[in-house]
Amino acid sequence: MKAVILAGGNGTRLHPLTLVTNKHLLALYDKPIIYYGIEKLVEAGVDKIMIVTSPWHIDNFVKLLGSGTNFISPLTGKQVQIVYGIQNEPNGLAYGLCIAKEYVGDDNCVFYLGDNIFEDNITEHIKNFKGGTTLFVKQVSDPGRFGVANFDKQGNIISMEEKPKKPKSNLAVTGIYIFDNTVFDKMNGQKPSKRGEYEIMYPIKKYIAEGKAKVVTLKKKYFDIGTIDTLFEASLYMKNKNDNRKK
């Protein structure tokens, strides 16, 4: 399966670290943030990736990752293919995904926000994907800051709430999604939201209305690198993991 990694955005909460560079190029312990996502997707069987970023930072991504030379697919034993897309303005996740429309073509795709760090192995979920959308949720202590999905015992999503005041569960929607090819049609005619962004919730709500949205709960460690504190916390976690491996 192909993947589209979003690596644009403003990174305002990480100022001044992101005043002259892109959040996904910052160090998380011993690697740039973008490496972690690529490695997890490659582990899960993805061997073609489009990285969508801003015109100001694309040159640095190309210098760092090139055509994917440092990443070998465990399935094919061949180099992973990395290509690039440009999002002129950080005008929303759905807009970023639309840039990859031609690239994805008739395939399904994993859509991944490059500042998400996760440890679960998602190989089976990609292999067994049967269409619709799969969202990955994670237990958090403050679900009111996130999108929260309400779902039945089979994992079918019934409804979704953005930053709910009274969350019905503590399972937050993360930045890892699998979409079938209809996601692009589902974004047709979309207008920017009140905050001026093309929201990824727009196509997701259509999948929910069709009864084609499922959730998978992540069990292992997960970080969303938005702030200096989460960047520091995730770096420390990776250092401890690395130290324990050496023992």
Placement of tokens 């440890």 in the chain: 119
Residue ranges of alpha helices (H) inside 12-69 are: 33-43, 58-65
Q: Which stretch binds ligand TTP (CB under 6 A): 92-100, 144-152, 158-166, 186-194?
A: 92-100
By CB under 6 A, is residue 12 in contact with ligand TTP? yes
- Which one among 80, 87, 104, 149 touches ligand TTP, defined by CB under 6 A? 87
10 binds ligand TTP (CB under 6 A): yes
Residue 55 or 211 having the CB closest to ligand TTP: 55
Q: Which is nearer to ligand TTP, 6 or 171 (CB)?
A: 6
Q: Which residues contact 243 (CB under 8 A, 6 or more apart)?
A: none
Alpha-carbon span 175 to 221, nearest angstrom: 14
Give yes or no for residue 85 binding ligand TTP (CB under 6 A).
no
Q: Give helix then strand counts, H and E, for the chain.
A: 8, 13
With contacts defined by CB under 6 A, name the span among 9-17, 69-77, 122-130, 143-151 that binds ligand TTP: 9-17
Does residue 90 interact with ligand TTP by CB under 6 A? yes
What residues numbered 29-48 form the site for ligand TTP, per CB under 6 A? Answer: none
Comparing CB distances to ligand TTP, the nearer of 164 and 226 is 226
Q: Specify the amino acid at residue 37.
A: G
CA end-to-end span of the chain, whole Å? 36
Strands 222-224, 147-151: parallel, antiparallel or unpaired by DSSP?
A: unpaired
Closest-CA residue to 145 (of 230, 22, 49, 19): 230
Cα 195 versus chain centre, distance? 20
Residue nearest to ligand TTP as judged by C-beta position = 9
Among 44, 110, 113, 213, binds ligand TTP (CB under 6 A): 113
- Site residues for ligand TTP per CB under 6 A: 6-13, 23, 87, 90-93, 96, 113-115, 197, 226
